[in-house]
């Protein structure tokens, strides 16, 4: 029975760690499907984490935190959009600039406002999105297997994780079932076709970038006010890049991207479990190696799959009328 | 009142900097006709089309649709007036199905499912009327070029096109697909649509159009009823007459075969047969001109000779040594060391690097030679001196080798490229379009230079779209049509009429 509980805890932790990855992965997916490469996910996530924690700390209200986080991320997305769409700048440079700027700016502002060495104050339970225990979870615990799954794995997550469960089909529906989605996918493949059909390439791409900014903002919000209880320096820890890798592994499609994020989440949860454990044959693995796991997996996946031709064809290429 | 025309332009002009891409174009296209527009590359056809469907705004003149003056701000406006465009490069989203491509931007509902259902019903009517039979739910990327093109045409009709502009519609089609397209065009005409058929293939103009407008250098040079003209006359009108006075040719004595092609075939970029069993010889002390309407294999011929394209059959020899056959090819550097120089046809694409300075471009391709580098380091002073010498000898202006090459005019760029290529004293010169985009003054100088090289006993092959140029500088002229050499004439026996007929594939001659 202990083994089963271990598995249940592992899966529970997978869902928790996968939440920001899924949100950021979908953010990247929407942006890239419109032809805008979004390597600035990391920076936007971190900015949203900081803004959310700061606003929640000041107001004591997690919803104020969510609003601030999402707005911060959308603001950065707008800058990225302006550089990539209006100014036809290099999208990688713009994205990296956002990442680097936020990595320095967030702790600096935190220090300036809160004087806690670059962190925000610890959030009380009222100021963050704490675990929601689903109805009947307590009583269901006694039912074998089904009850365990319900109580241990599905119940007890924060609001944003449940929101994410709703966001996934919403994004897929938008992309594949609406005319807006058709146009958005078209503009990432062949903007000229969209332009000659009389639709504004610029407007579509701004819309996509802003939707991406919103989703990415939520991923930051969950980091500092859902999973954590405040902002700490570099708390995104490369999750933006992981999400990007998951999106590539997921071939720029919502469901495969979700699965890739869950895989990354699982590996991350696994490495947490493995820390300090004595494994048969190998003994105890140094913690530095276990922490490496998700990143090693990213490198491997990208090395194997990055060269494939599934990327939106116009991704990363500024649209210029007539050439 | 007379019946208004489908499209009329009055004094339509468009400039790009100093270049008059379209100069006072007046054009009349009666309703319900198939109207051809012919002209060489760079004659201004694309610019005209882009103004007609709202992609460019004219600098002067006006466009009238159904007798009413219109001002298109964008392609939507043109579509609103019933002008549909089928681009040479299709405007299709490849992973999308035909249906999705057709409704893109004209969905009529935010719910995709409803939009598709509505479109499907309307398309069925159009299909019946015009005789389409398209696999609506197949992704475009899996379909042949011909089917894609019909999808584009249907897309335009779905958006209410009364006048269809087809830009080089057969450039990418097989002969069978071309026949099918012609059938569709006739059907469109029968249903009262107007078709603007833009091409540089004369036999197609003769086959499908009612009237034809010939463009050259941004102007309309002639309008003809198709049944009152001939491919020969059109070819002549297209290439036109240009001032050209070549240096006198001297007797050059012993003629050794420098380059020979023996039944050489090669595939083009799209896998089609671009060269079909081409046999040619270029001798020392002669200029062999290659004539033909653009796109009949001349580009591939240049590429095969200069080591840029592999051959599928046949043999190329340089000075008697095999340089390429179906099993091997020689790379451009080696060819260059053997004594072949190449003035590329598409200067900006393969002749120069446009963001680099004229000084750097002056030695491009020769940078590894001992004159310009030692132990992997460039000899900057020597390079600067050489560039300055070229500028002086060729009278390149402005006299500043440090400017990027792109800021020089076409003629000055070409003079520099030619200086670079003849500097090594090559035995064989391969020259593509020696005077394309070159001002008249520089044309004469370049022609004189070519003749001078010939008089020194060099072997020279020149591909040109300009017949007068070829007549002025060549000893012999080979004519290409549809990948074949249809004949070779001594320049004494050649005139524009004969060459025009041969270019149109109507006459063969072996000389």
Quick one: average pLDDT of B361-374?
Answer: 89
| Whole-structure pTM value | 0.75
What would the two tokens of residue A213 be? 């900014």
Question: Cα A210 to chain center, whole Å?
Answer: 15
Q: Closest by alpha carbon to B345, among B318, B305, B385, B396?
A: B305
What average pLDDT does chain B have? 88
- In the predicted model, what is the mean pLDDT of residues A112-130? 90
pLDDT tens-digit series, residues A219-269: 999 999 999 999 999 999 899 999 999 998 898 999 999 999 999 999 888
Query: Any CB–CB contact under 8 A between B55 and chain A?
Result: yes
* A-B contacts at Cβ under 8 angstroms: 69
pLDDT in tens, B260-303: 999 999 998 877 889 999 999 999 999 999 998 778 899 999 99
CB contact under 8 A, B96 and A189: yes
In angstroms, rounded to a whole number, what is the distance separating the alpha carbons of residues A47 and A213? 11
Mean pLDDT over A305-313 rounds to: 74
- pLDDT band, residue B503 (cuts 50/70/90): confident
Question: Is A190–B93 a contact, with Cβ atoms under 8 angstroms apart?
Answer: yes
Chain A residues inside the 8 Å CB shell of B165: none
Peptide bond into B398 cis (omega under 30): yes
- B52 CB within 8 Å of a chain A CB: no
Distance from CA of A170 to the nearest CA of B (A): 14
CB contact under 8 A, B101 and A322: no
State how far residue A194 is from chain B, nearest Cα, in angstroms.
7
Could A197 and B106 be called an inter-chain contact, meaning their C-beta atoms sit closer than 8 Å? yes
Sequential DSSP letters for A134-187: PTTHHHHTTSTTHHHIIIIIISSB-HHHHHHHHHHHHHHHHHHHBHHHHHHHHH
Provide, as residue numbers in chain A, all residues whose Cβ is less than 8 Å from the Cβ of B100: 182
Which of A197, A201, A204, A251 to mutate to test binding with chain B, by most B CBs within 10 Å of its CB? A197
Domain ranges of chain A: 2-130+137-305
Q: What is the mean pLDDT of residues B368-377?
A: 88
HEC string of B362-406?
CCCCCCCCCCCEECCEECHHHHHHHHHHHHHHHCCCCCCCCCEHH
- The DSSP output letter for B106 is -
In this prediction, residues B456-460 reach a mean pLDDT of 93
- Among B105, B119, B152, most A C-beta atoms within 10 A, so best to mutate, is B105
Q: Does B141 touch chain A (CB under 8 A)?
A: no
Q: What is the mean pLDDT of residues B226-254?
A: 72
Q: Which of B35, B30, B25, B29 is nearest to B197 (CA)?
A: B35
- B74 and A198 within 8 Å at the Cβ level: the answer is yes
Residues of B in contact with A190 (CB under 8 A): 91-94
For residue A196, the chain B residues in CB contact (below 8 A) are 55, 75, 85, 87, 91
Residue B298 tokens, joined: 């001349």
- Which token pair is B494? 């050649």
Q: Does B11 touch chain A (CB under 8 A)?
A: no
At B415, which helix (H) or strand (E)? helix B410-422
Contacts B101 to A, Cβ<8 Å: 193
Check CB contact under 8 Å for A182 and B110. no
Is the Cβ of B95 closer than 8 Å to some Cβ of chain A? yes
Please, what CATH class does the domain formed by B257-339+426-510 belong to?
alpha beta
As a three-state string, the secondary structure of B429-491 is EEEECCCCCCCHHHHHHHHHHHHHHHHCCCEEEEECCCHHHHHHHCCEEEEEECCEEEEEEEH
Confidence of residue A72 (pLDDT cuts 50, 70, 90): very high
Residues of A with Cβ-Cβ distance to B79 under 8 angstroms? 198
Beta strands in B30-101 (DSSP E): 34-38, 60-65, 68-70, 83-86
Residue B244 reports pLDDT greater than 70: no
The pLDDT value recorded for residue A188 is 95
* The pLDDT value given to residue A298: 80
| Nearest CA distance, B95 vs chain A (angstrom) | 8
Q: What is the ipTM of this complex?
A: 0.86
| Most distant CA pair in chain B, distance | 81
Q: From the CA of A307, how many Å to the nearest CA of chain B? A: 18
CB B405 within 8 A of CB B413: yes
End-to-end CA distance of chain B: 57
Query: Within a 10 A sphere around the Cβ of A316, how many other Cβ atoms?
Result: 18
Of B56, B105, B109, the CB nearest to A183: B105
CA atoms of A167 and A173, how far apart (whole Å) = 10
Using a CB-CB cut-off of 8 Å, the residues of chain A touching B116 are none
Q: Tell me the H-state helices in B55-111.
A: 75-80, 98-103
Tokens of B154: 């249907």
Q: Is the pLDDT of residue B511 over 70?
A: no
Instruction: Please give the residue that has the higher pLDDT: either A189 or B15.
Output: A189
A323 min Cα distance to partner chain B (Å) = 12
Q: Does B362 touch chain A (CB under 8 A)?
A: no
Work out the number of other CB atoms within 10 angstroms of the CB of residue B276. Answer: 16
How far is it, in rounded angstroms, from Cα A5 to Cα A152? 8
Note whether B7-239 and B257-339+426-510 share their fold.
yes
Indicate whether B439 pLDDT > 70: no
How do residues B427-436 score in pLDDT, each as one tens digit? Answer: 999 999 998 7
| Nearest CA-CA distance, residue B348 and chain A, Å | 14
Select the residue of A178, A194, A321 nearest B112 (Cβ to Cβ). A178
- High-pLDDT (> 70) share of chain A, %: 98
CB pair distance less than 8 Å for A198 and B105 = yes
Of A179, A197, A199, the CB nearest to B115: A179
State residue B217 phi and psi, 5-degree precision. 50, 45
Residue A322 has what pLDDT?
Answer: 55
Using a pLDDT cut of 70, give the percent of chain B over it: 94
- A-chain CB neighbours of B55 within 8 Å are 196, 321-322
Least CB-CB distance to A179: which of B50, B94, B107? B107
pLDDT of the residue at B87? 87
Give the integer Cα–Cα distance in Å for B451 and B460.
Answer: 9
> Are A193 and B109 inside 8 Å of each other by CB?
no
Contacts of B74 in chain A (CB under 8 A): 198
Instruction: Give the DSSP letter of residue B407.
Output: G
Distance (Å, whole) CA B466 – CA B479: 12
Restricting to B residues 73-92, those with a Cβ less than 8 Å away from any Cβ of A are 74-76, 79, 85, 87, 91-92
Q: Is B265 helix (H, G, I), strand (E, B) or coil?
A: strand
Q: How distant is the alpha carbon of residue B396 from its chain centre?
A: 27
State the pLDDT at residue B465: 80
Cβ <8 Å between A193 and B91: yes
B101 has a chain A CB within 8 A of its CB: yes
Q: Check whether B192 has a pLDDT greater than 90.
A: yes
Domain B7-239 carries which CATH code? 3.40.50.300
What does the block give as tokens for B474? Answer: 């060549």
> A16-58 pLDDT, tens per residue?
999 999 999 999 999 999 999 999 999 999 999 999 999 999 9
Task: Tell me how close the Cα of B210 comes to any Cα of chain A, in angstroms.
Answer: 28
- Give the residue extent of every domain in chain B: 7-239, 257-339+426-510
Does B114 touch chain A if contact means CB atoms closer than 8 Å? Answer: no
List the single residue in B with minimal CA-CA distance to A197. B105
Closest CA of chain A from B349, distance in Å:
14
Task: Say if residues B464 and B433 touch (Cβ distance below 8 Å).
Answer: yes
**Cβ pair B113:A177 closer than 8 A:** yes
Residue with tokens 């004094």: B11
Per-residue pLDDT tens digits for B391-422 = 998 888 788 888 888 888 777 888 899 999 98
8 Å CB contact of B107 and A186: no
Contact at CB, A196 and B85, closer than 8 angstroms: yes
Per-residue model confidence as pLDDT tens digits over B162-182? 999 999 888 777 767 888 899
CA distances from A55 to A9, A64, A68, A72, A220 (A): 32, 6, 6, 11, 13
Name the residue in chain A with its Cα closest to that of B94.
A189
CATH class of A2-130+137-305: mainly alpha
Chain A residues in contact with B111 (beta carbon < 8 A)? 177-179
Calculate how close chain A gets to B302, using CA atoms only, in Å: 25
pLDDT category, B2, cuts 50, 70, 90?
low
Inter-chain residue contact B104 with A194, CB threshold 8 Å: yes
Instruction: List all residues 6 or more positions away from A157 whose beta carbon is below 8 Å from its beta carbon.
Output: A15, A16, A19, A131, A132
């Amino acid at each position: 029975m202990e083994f089963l509980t271990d598995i249940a805890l592992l899966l529970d932790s997978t869902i928790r760690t996968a939440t920001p990855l899924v949100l950021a992965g979908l953010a990247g997916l929407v942006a890239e499907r419109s032809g805008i490469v979004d390597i600035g996910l990391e920076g936007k996530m971190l900015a949203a984490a900081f803004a959310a924690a700061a606003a929640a700390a000041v107001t004591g209200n997690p919803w104020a935190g969510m609003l601030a986080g999402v707005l911060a991320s959308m603001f950065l997305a707008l800058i990225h959009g302006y550089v990539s769409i209006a100014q036809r700048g290099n999208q990688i440079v713009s994205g990296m600039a956002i990442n680097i700027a936020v990595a320095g700016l967030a702790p600096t502002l935190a220090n300036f406002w809160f004087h806690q060495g670059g962190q925000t104050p610890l959030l009380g339970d009222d100021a963050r999105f704490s675990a929601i225990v689903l109805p009947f979870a307590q009583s269901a615990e006694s039912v074998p297997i089904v009850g365990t799954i319900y109580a241990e794995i599905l119940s007890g997550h924060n609001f944003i994780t449940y929101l994410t469960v709703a966001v996934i089909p919403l994004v897929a529906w938008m992309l594949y079932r609406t005319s807006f989605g058709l146009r958005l996918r078209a503009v990432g493949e062949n903007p000229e076709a969209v332009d000659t059909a009389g639709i504004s390439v610029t407007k579509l791409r701004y819309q996509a970038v802003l939707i991406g900014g919103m989703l990415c903002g939520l991923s930051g919000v969950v980091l500092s006010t859902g999973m954590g209880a405040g902002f700490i320096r570099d708390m995104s820890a490369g999750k933006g890049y992981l999400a990007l890798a998951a999106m590539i592994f997921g071939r720029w499609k919502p469901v495969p991207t979700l699965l890739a994020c869950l895989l990354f989440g699982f590996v991350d949860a696994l490495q947490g479990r493995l820390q300090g454990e004595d494994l048969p044959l190998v003994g105890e693995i140094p913690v530095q190696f276990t922490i490496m796991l998700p990143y090693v997996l990213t490198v491997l996946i990208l090395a194997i799959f990055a060269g494939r031709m599934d990327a939106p064809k116009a991704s990363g290429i500024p649209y210029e009328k007539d050439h | 009142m007379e019946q208004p025309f489908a499209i009329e332009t009055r004094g339509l002009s468009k400039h790009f900097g100093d270049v008059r891409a379209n100069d006072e174009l007046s054009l009349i296209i009666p309703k319900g006709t198939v109207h051809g527009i012919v002209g060489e590359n760079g004659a201004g056809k694309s610019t005209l089309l882009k103004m007609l469907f709202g992609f460019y705004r004219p600098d002067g003149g006006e466009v009238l649709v159904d007798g009413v003056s219109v001002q298109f701000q964008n392609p939507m406006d043109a579509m609103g007036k019933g002008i549909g465009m089928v681009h040479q490069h299709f405007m299709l989203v490849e992973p999308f199905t035909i249906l999705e491509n057709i409704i893109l931007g004209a969905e009529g509902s935010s719910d995709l499912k409803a939009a598709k259902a509505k479109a499907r019903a309307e398309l069925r009517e159009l299909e019946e009327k015009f005789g389409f039979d398209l696999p609506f739910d197949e992704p475009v990327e899996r379909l042949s070029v011909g089917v894609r093109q019909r999808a584009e045409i249907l897309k335009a009709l779905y958006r209410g096109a009364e006048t269809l502009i087809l830009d080089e519609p057969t450039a990418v089609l097989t002969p069978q697909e071309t026949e099918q397209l012609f059938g569709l065009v006739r059907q469109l005409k029968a249903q009262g649509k107007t078709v603007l058929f833009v091409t540089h293939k004369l036999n197609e103009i003769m086959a499908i159009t009612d009237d034809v407008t010939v463009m050259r250098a941004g102007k309309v040079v002639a309008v003809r009823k198709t049944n009152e003209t001939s491919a020969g006359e059109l070819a002549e009108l297209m290439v036109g007459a240009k001032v050209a006075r070549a240096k006198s040719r001297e007797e050059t004595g012993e003629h050794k075969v420098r380059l020979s092609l023996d039944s050489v075939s090669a595939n083009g970029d799209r896998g089609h047969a671009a060269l079909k069993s081409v046999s040619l010889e270029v001798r020392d002390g002669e200029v062999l001109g290659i004539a033909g309407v653009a796109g009949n294999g001349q580009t591939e011929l240049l590429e095969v000779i200069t080591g840029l394209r592999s051959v599928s059959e046949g043999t190329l020899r340089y000075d008697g040594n095999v340089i390429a056959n179906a099993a091997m090819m020689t790379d451009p550097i080696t060819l260059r060391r053997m004594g072949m120089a190449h003035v590329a046809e598409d200067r900006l694409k393969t002749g120069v690097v446009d963001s680099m300075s004229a000084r750097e471009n002056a030695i491009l391709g020769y940078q590894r030679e001992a004159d310009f580098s030692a132990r992997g380091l460039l000899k900057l002073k020597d390079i600067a001196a050489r560039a300055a010498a070229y500028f002086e000898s060729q009278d390149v202006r402005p006299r500043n080798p440090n400017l990027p090459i792109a800021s020089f005019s076409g003629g000055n760029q070409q003079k520099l490229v030619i200086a670079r290529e003849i500097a090594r004293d090559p035995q064989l010169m391969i020259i593509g379009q020696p005077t394309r985009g070159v001002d008249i003054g520089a044309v004469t100088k370049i022609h004189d230079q070519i003749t001078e090289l010939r008089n020194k006993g060099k072997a020279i092959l020149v591909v040109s779209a300009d017949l007068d140029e070829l007549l002025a500088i060549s000893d012999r002229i080979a004519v290409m049509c549809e990948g074949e050499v249809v004949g070779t004439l001594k320049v004494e026996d050649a005139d524009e009429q004969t060459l025009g007929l041969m270019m149109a594939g109507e006459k063969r001659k072996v000389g």
